Structure 1
Amino acid sequence: MKSSLLANSIFVRLWAAHTLSEMGAKVSLLAFPLIAAVTLQATPEQMGRLVAAETLPYLLLGLLAGGWVDRLQKRLVLVSANAARASLLLAVPLLAWRQWLSIEALYGVAFLIGTAEVWFNIASAAYTPLVVGKESLVDAYSKLAVSTSSAEAAGPMVAGALIQWLGPTVAVLANALTYMGSSIFIGSQRHHDDVGHAADRGGRPPMRQEILSGLRFVFTHRILRAITLRLGAWQFVVGVIQALLVYYALNQLQLPAGSLGLIFSAMGVGILAGALSVKALAQRLGTGNSIIFAVIVAALSAYLIPLASGSQPMRCLSLCCAMFMYGICTTVYEVNNVSLRQSLTPLHMLGRMTATVRVATLGIRPLGALVGGWCGGTIGIKPTLLVVITMGLLLSLSSLLASPLRHLDGLAPAEDIH
């Protein structure tokens, strides 16, 4: 199986759909904060609320979505979620054309897109192991990470050109088109394992009981609990940075809007470097130590953001270096983390495990965004970033070093470590 992923036509279509979605998403990644900061003149607090609106659905709906994903056909969930995201993105230029676009309307669109994203990401995480098998997870996620990194490297530059040419409100149409194309790729797949446990639905326990079983599985498992607590702490930091970065770069570092494409592209180059090195690093350090190494380096490199100083090129270079290192570490962490989680989880529990982890981690990001926006507007952006990055580093390390991760050399089957 490990040597035949490229011969697996279902995985190849899934890979193509993933690549197309990632390329288009870079437009919205730049366009939404630019619409808020430049077109709508948003404050740091409003920027925080925008990020919170995008990620709040994980906290509100993640567990329910995970329970349903384990019962439904994952492929149909993926197609429906992408179609919903495409339709919602079409609303942005329409609202702008009718002069109805406001920061509150942008909150609403961001929240609904985030809702569709919850369903898509949970279904994707549960679908991939069915397509490739657990023994090929690291290889599969490495290939998906290469696509992500390529999109991260090239996407922001393309997005920047589209935004300068069409304006941010119209440029999001490119993202809508890529989501439509991704739906076509996924919709053309047929996979006999993707049955949503239809045969035994009548004998399944109530949804509440299944959701609770997912919570118990994650938080009574020593390794899953450790990586979930660590990721939750760091997602708070990510929420703060995501809420403040564009405003900080444009208004405090006085960088031109065009430099944002370069800064986000640097992260993409880092993701590509991480995707190409993750397997070798895991073999050299072991799965557990690779995760811990990535956590430490990611946190240390994040200090380059609040410490940026000097001339305008030097300030831009500091942010580029921070994003480059963050890209490397995020990929090393995520490929090992996701592969490890899924190797430890029975197939019938994948949706609920993924939902539980995402609620406990990405569900923290809106809190970070709100706190970051408020603190950034109250005590200043630089002090906020310095304090939050330090707290995230200490909390992440304490949860990881107290777990069995340091002694884990490779992936373990679900019954081996509990």
Structure 2
Amino acid sequence: MPRGSSLFFHADFRRLWAGDTASQFGTFVGNTAVPLLAAVTLAATPFEMGLLTAAETLAFLLLGLPAGVWVDRLSRRRVMLTADFTRFALLLSVPVCWWAGVLTLAQLLVVVLLVGIATLFFDIAYQSYLPSLVGREHLLEGNAKLQAVQSTAQIAGPGAAGVLVQLISAANTVLVTGLGYLTSALFLLRIRAREPEPDRGAHARLLPQIAEGLRFVFSDKPLRAIVGTTGTANFFGGAFTAVYVLFLTRTVGLAPAAVGVLLAVGGAGGILGAVCSGAITRRIGQARAIWLVPLCALPGHLLLPFAAPGWRLGLAGFGAAVGWFGIIIYNIAAVSYRQAICPDRLLGRMNASVRFVVWGVIPLGGLLGGALGEGLGLRGALWVAVTGEAAAVLWVVCSPLRHMRDLPTAAKSGTPAA
């Protein structure tokens, strides 16, 4: 592809993009179908829903740091393929056991935990693979296109899941998620670009390699603030996820299809954010896209606990759309920055270090949400979660980013200075 051309003309990126489309659609179907399966079919309590939320991302807390070292030692495309095939096989077991009449909440927890481990390796490899596939000068465009797919799936997936759950049951709907991962693997197999050989020096001892990734992340002040914001938002987001479907089905009284529609509304704001991210970032600068946009948009989530039958349901949908608009623009700018400044040999460890913090806190938040749901009630727990999410932006607002317009976009040669 000629330098400066659009990624629309990059054949291997199109294959990655197509696979990501199938994977993201399946993921968002599963993000709705699995909680509905637990809440409606398996009669899970708020605490059990918290356990389910924790199981989804526990791998990032337990294995996140060594996973980055292992990814740097291996072919990243091969890691992604293995993860996709593994997730397909695991999720296939849910409808099979449902057909046999032996599906339990315990099995669902185990499947979700193992899928989370595969997702950990896929995500680290995926974000480390993109710079070598498209070049660092195309990272903002590539991330924006991939984020647009995710936001579109966030609209289509929950709505489709809600309808499918009512038509064919939640357990059968989980199969759609597995098929999405299988399709992703088939597109990855068609990528022809040669990946750079893994750094043979990465076969040093595990702990020093982990420490090098952590030093890179936490000695860069803008990146440190970004990790603080994302980690705090994800912690309270885990609490939110643990109680939101229960809140909508039991407190608000929505049917599964209506739950899917409301969840999809937030994705509309995400699509708009992905489409507008390039123009907004060029207009106000990448640094301001990281702190100013979420500062204005995240308070929209404070409208979610007001959800009730009638016009207040529309108010909650509007708040979700506004919040996701800001989150997507923030994510694109923040991920593009960290991919751009990191040397290729450290990409796996850098991404793993970031994911260890920002995803590792989600299971803790999920357990908090389950406990708050039992103690404060579902609406009270939701208030705590959305307030914490909105306050997370203070990390970047109170950082050097507030006094900057643009951020460096060239890879650093080593560990940055403090």
Instruction: Please tell me whether the aligned partners of residues 301 and 390 of structure 2 are also in contact (alpha carbons under 8 angstroms).
Output: no
Aligned-pair CA distance for 1:399: 4.7
Aligned-pair CA distance for 1:330: 1.7
Which among 14, 21, 44 is matched to residue 19 of structure 1? 21
Aligned-pair CA distance for 1:196: 2.2
What are the equivalent positions in structure 2 for 1:57-136 lying under 5 Å apart? 57-136=59-138
* 1:70 counterpart SS class: helix
Residue equivalent to 2:189: 187
- Indicate how the Cα distance of structure 1 residues 298 and 382 shifts in structure 2: closer, same or farther if over 3 A, else same: farther
Residue equivalent to 2:363: 366
Q: Which moved more, 1:372-381 or 1:295-304?
A: 295-304
Instruction: Please tell me whether the aligned partners of residues 255 and 316 of structure 1 are also in contact (alpha carbons under 8 angstroms).
Output: no
Aligned-pair CA distance for 1:305: 1.1
* 1:92 counterpart SS class: helix
Q: Distance in 2 between matches of 1:391 and 1:319?
A: 17
- Indicate how the Cα distance of structure 1 residues 250 and 315 shifts in structure 2: closer, same or farther if over 3 A, else same: farther
Instruction: Please tell me whether the aligned partners of residues 223 and 405 of structure 1 are also in contact (alpha carbons under 8 angstroms).
Output: no
Residue equivalent to 1:345: 342
- Indicate how the Cα distance of structure 1 residues 178 and 388 shifts in structure 2: closer, same or farther if over 3 A, else same: closer
Residue equivalent to 1:50: 52
The residue type equivalent to 1:345 in the other structure is: C
Can you give the 5+ residue segments of structure 2 that lack an aligned partner in the other structure? none
Residue equivalent to 1:145: 147
Can you give the 5+ residue segments of structure 1 that lack an aligned partner in the other structure? none
What are the Cα deviations for residues 44-90 of structure 1, in whole angstroms up to 9, with x where unaligned? Answer: 11111100000111111111111111111011111110000000010
1:158 equivalenced with 2:157 (yes/no) = no
Residue equivalent to 1:6: 8
Which among 352, 369, 378 is matched to residue 355 of structure 1? 352
The residue type equivalent to 1:290 in the other structure is: A
Which among 378, 385, 389 is matched to residue 382 of structure 2? 385
Instruction: Please tell me whether the aligned partners of residues 165 and 256 of structure 2 are also in contact (alpha carbons under 8 angstroms).
Output: no
Q: Distance in 2 between matches of 1:331 and 1:41?
A: 33
Q: Distance in 1 between matches of 2:12 and 2:152?
A: 21
Q: Distance in 1 between matches of 2:152 and 2:391?
A: 32
The residue type equivalent to 2:227 in the other structure is: T
Q: Distance in 1 between matches of 2:405 and 2:63?
A: 33
The residue type equivalent to 2:267 in the other structure is: G
- Indicate how the Cα distance of structure 1 residues 141 and 281 shifts in structure 2: closer, same or farther if over 3 A, else same: same
Residue equivalent to 2:258: 259
* 2:74 counterpart SS class: coil
* 1:304 counterpart SS class: helix
Q: Distance in 1 between matches of 2:412 and 2:276?
A: 29
Instruction: Please tell me whether the aligned partners of residues 31 and 172 of structure 1 are also in contact (alpha carbons under 8 angstroms).
Output: yes
What are the equivalent positions in structure 2 for 1:278-293 lying under 5 Å apart? 278-293=277-292
The two structures have a TM-score, normalised by structure 1, of 0.94
Instruction: Please tell me whether the aligned partners of residues 290 and 396 of structure 2 are also in contact (alpha carbons under 8 angstroms).
Output: no
* 1:20 counterpart SS class: helix
Residue equivalent to 2:244: 245
Residue equivalent to 1:305: 304
Q: Distance in 1 between matches of 2:373 and 2:346?
A: 40
What are the equivalent positions in structure 2 for 1:192-207 lying under 5 Å apart? 192-197=194-199, 200-201=200-201, 204-207=203-206
Instruction: Please tell me whether the aligned partners of residues 284 and 405 of structure 2 are also in contact (alpha carbons under 8 angstroms).
Output: no
Residue equivalent to 2:215: 216
Instruction: Please tell me whether the aligned partners of residues 17 and 186 of structure 1 are also in contact (alpha carbons under 8 angstroms).
Output: yes
What percentage of aligned pairs have identical amino acids?
Answer: 35
Q: Distance in 2 between matches of 1:395 and 1:324?
A: 18
Residue equivalent to 1:415: 412
The two structures have a TM-score, normalised by structure 2, of 0.94
- Indicate how the Cα distance of structure 1 residues 20 and 411 shifts in structure 2: closer, same or farther if over 3 A, else same: farther
Instruction: Please tell me whether the aligned partners of residues 270 and 323 of structure 1 are also in contact (alpha carbons under 8 angstroms).
Output: yes
Q: Count matched residues.
A: 413
- Indicate how the Cα distance of structure 1 residues 318 and 61 shifts in structure 2: closer, same or farther if over 3 A, else same: same
Which among 307, 317, 320 is matched to residue 323 of structure 1? 320
Q: Distance in 1 between matches of 2:402 and 2:213?
A: 21
Structure 1 runs of 4+ with >4 Å offset: none
The residue type equivalent to 2:410 in the other structure is: P
Q: Distance in 2 between matches of 1:116 and 1:260?
A: 28
* 2:393 counterpart SS class: helix
* 1:414 counterpart SS class: coil
Instruction: Please tell me whether the aligned partners of residues 47 and 371 of structure 2 are also in contact (alpha carbons under 8 angstroms).
Output: yes
The residue type equivalent to 1:88 in the other structure is: L
Q: Distance in 1 between matches of 2:255 and 2:162?
A: 12
